[in-house]
Chain A
Amino acid sequence: MSITYINDLRNGLRELLKSDKTVYLIGEDIGDPYGGAFKVTKGLSLEYPNNIIQTPMSEQGFTGMGIGMALNGLKPIVEIMFGDFITLTIDQIINHLAKFYEVYQIDISFVLRTPSGGFRGYGPTHSQSLERLFFGIPGITVIAPSIINSPGKMITKSVYCNRPIIFIENKLDYSKVLLPTNKLINDICFINPIDSVQNFPMHKITIPEMQPEATIITYGGMVPACMKVQEELLMEEEISTEIITISNLTDIDFTSLLNSIESRKVITIEESWEKFGWGSYITSKLTQSKPFEHTSNIGAKNCYIPAAKELEDYVLPTTKTIYKRILEEIK
């Protein structure tokens, strides 16, 4: 049965609220009738009014408030309306939450969820993928589902893993239908979980019976774009690629990742800036273990995310630019 990403996520939240009275949703405009800026929490405040805390516009304050609730055994899920606004929470997350977990040795259930990404013409302060700000900060785990993970299941896992989680959604994914695993998709590819990875899965998207010429590693909102590129490369150039999607962006199982790469060329793709990016860390770690014929990192151009469609498409990695780059690099 097909379900959209947003409905799956909302179902996950609803199930959490239903089964666990210590779960609280906290954030701006998350109550009904509005139901959140992207409508993720729509309806939930009518069903569970005591566990939805609608806040004033005080991101630093209510993020810290959530951390305090978590210290006393509650399970807050804090929504930050746009991923761009996580800058306001950073002191509470890095200097408080992460330190309580690691320095004070406190198990803590705290999830901050936020929608990341552009391609919607929202302009420079409403289009960024700022999860990068938390990469490499000890004590913080960054999780990003995509259309091939159930965001509902992943938010549940995040709540019960007893450590600080930043949960990154992608605005473009909300309306998309989740894809099934172990089933031929569009007569082209199969999606399979990489079995050895615990808890937050990695998946591999492969074209059956063809040796991949390149391996694309990506996460979150870039997965649909990469699948489109995979399809076009096959149809137009008869080039086979494999895609590996990662959902735990910061605690990566590099052994499993290495073992599942079947080509000699690795290309990472992320929506955020390529400069000092997530992908360059991945390829750097991979090449320290094993030589590859080719590695490269694709991401946004090194400038702000502009609003006009032509400008935004010029800066962000679109299917067109990804296709072109991959073709150039593996030919």
Chain B
Amino acid sequence: MKNKNNIYKSLYLIRSFEQTLETYFSKGQIRGTTHGCIGQEVIAVAAINNINIEQDWITSNHRCHGHFLAITNDPLVLAAEIMGKNIGVLNGRGASQHIRLKHFLTNGITGGMIPIACGLALSKKLKNEPGIVLAFLGDGAMNEGYVMESLNLASIYHVPILFLLENNMYAMSTRSANVTAGNYQKRIDSYDIPYFETKDNDYFTIKKTFQEAYKFVKSQTKPAFMECKTFRFCGHSKSDKKEYMSQQEIQKWNLEDPLLKIRKDISEEEAIKIEEEVKTIVKEAFQTASSSSPPDPTIILKHVAN
């Protein structure tokens, strides 16, 4: 039971963070843009809870807040980064989608981290280092040329990488099924990469399958690919009103909110306690970030080439 409480707390932290962020954006209190992961939190937490955070590298994409929070549990440095504050992870250089913390790297180009993740995995193999690379990607990235090149490279060089596809079925506003030939499993099979799948956006199903896939990669020093069907309850980015989704579809997935599923296994009293606690942490993180200092512009001169 204690374990479920902790899982719910991690999931709720991400949800609460993204919701608070949406509020700040809607009030015009933050510049720039953001890509929320409401509805997809279970994948981040189930995966990150089951890797070796000291040894493994994790690459992510524009929709990276969930991954970051699952790793760090630290909403303050992320909120500060998004707000462009000096205490942010990168002193405000990168904001929402350009984050680096030790072995965790994200970037804003769809699919662009995937070749790099393969290189990281190859380097681990060449250096005889323990651990693997966990590479998150979305369904939009599956039609990028270099992602397909990378699947081939990972397979021919036998590198320890686990591709984790968070398939929320929409590449921004485009329904991926309408623009994707065949299906992902057939593609992955053709590269001789083992394919794992979860369909229900459920923490425990994802955890179980993830552990199998992870174990395969680690023990075989070979790539594996895992597809998690999921749903994004929020827009693609801050201004997206989801006009391209049907109400039926939204309602169907809302009924299957993965956070509610876990919440049902916790007493109402405990759930409320967790929620209140997390809300306070997030609220304070945003307030502290908001009132903290902006970076000194001269930091830009550090570590530049020309």
Chain A residues near B (Cβ < 8 Å): 24, 53, 55-56, 58, 60-74, 76, 91-92, 95-96, 98-106, 138-141, 163-164, 250-251
Contacts and interface: CB of A to CB of B under 8 A. Distances in A.
A103 B109 contact: no
Contacts of A69: 119-120, 122-123, 126
Contacts of A70: 119
Contacts of A61: 115, 118, 146, 149-150, 152-153
B259 to A, nearest CB: 32
B108 to A, nearest CB: 8
A71 B116 contact: yes
A60 B127 contact: no
B112 A91 contact: yes
Contact of B305 (A64, A101, A106): A101
6 contacts: A58-B146, A69-B119, A69-B123, A103-B90, A105-B303, A141-B305
A17 to B, nearest CB: 14
A91 B109 contact: yes
Nearest to B106: A104
Contacts of A103: 90, 93-94, 98, 100
Interface residues of B, number: 39
Nearest to B156: A56
A64 B116 contact: yes
A59 B241 CA distance: 38
Contact of B123 (A73, A140, A164): A73
A104 B115 contact: no
A66 B303 contact: no
A86 B278 CA distance: 49
Interface string B90-114: 1001100010100001011100111
A95 B107 contact: yes
A279 to B, nearest CB: 18
Contacts of A91: 109, 112, 146
B302 A105 contact: yes
B306 interface: yes
Q: Which 7 A-B pairs have the closest CB atoms?
A: A68-B119, A64-B115, A61-B149, A58-B149, A65-B119, A72-B123, A104-B100
B117 interface: yes
Contacts of B118: 61, 64-65, 68
Contacts of B57: 72
Contact of A65 (B112, B145, B153, B303): B153
A99 B98 contact: yes
Contact of A68 (B123, B302, B303, B304): B123
A207 to B, nearest CB: 34
Given A58-B149, A95-B109, A99-B98, A74 B305 contact: no
B153 A55 contact: yes
Given A56-B152, A74-B127, A96-B109, A139 B116 contact: no
A96 B100 CA distance: 12
Contacts of A71: 105, 116, 119-120, 123
Contacts of B115: 60-65, 67-68, 92
Contacts of A139: 304-306
Which of the listed residues B94, B119, B149 has the most CB atoms from chain A within 10 Å of its own CB? Answer: B119
Contacts of A105: 90, 302-303
Nearest to B107: A96
Contacts of B129: 72
B305 A138 contact: yes
B182 to A, nearest CB: 20
B121 interface: yes
Contacts of B152: 56, 58, 61
Given A74-B126, A104-B105, A66 B305 contact: no
A60 B115 CA distance: 8
Nearest to A107: B303
Contacts of B109: 91, 95-96
A32 B160 CA distance: 27
A138 B93 CA distance: 14
Contact of B153 (A24, A62, A92, A102): A62
Nearest to B304: A102
Given A68-B123, A73-B123, A138 B304 contact: yes
B62 interface: no
A314 to B, nearest CB: 35
Contacts of B93: 103
B149 to A, nearest CB: 3
A66 B126 CA distance: 13
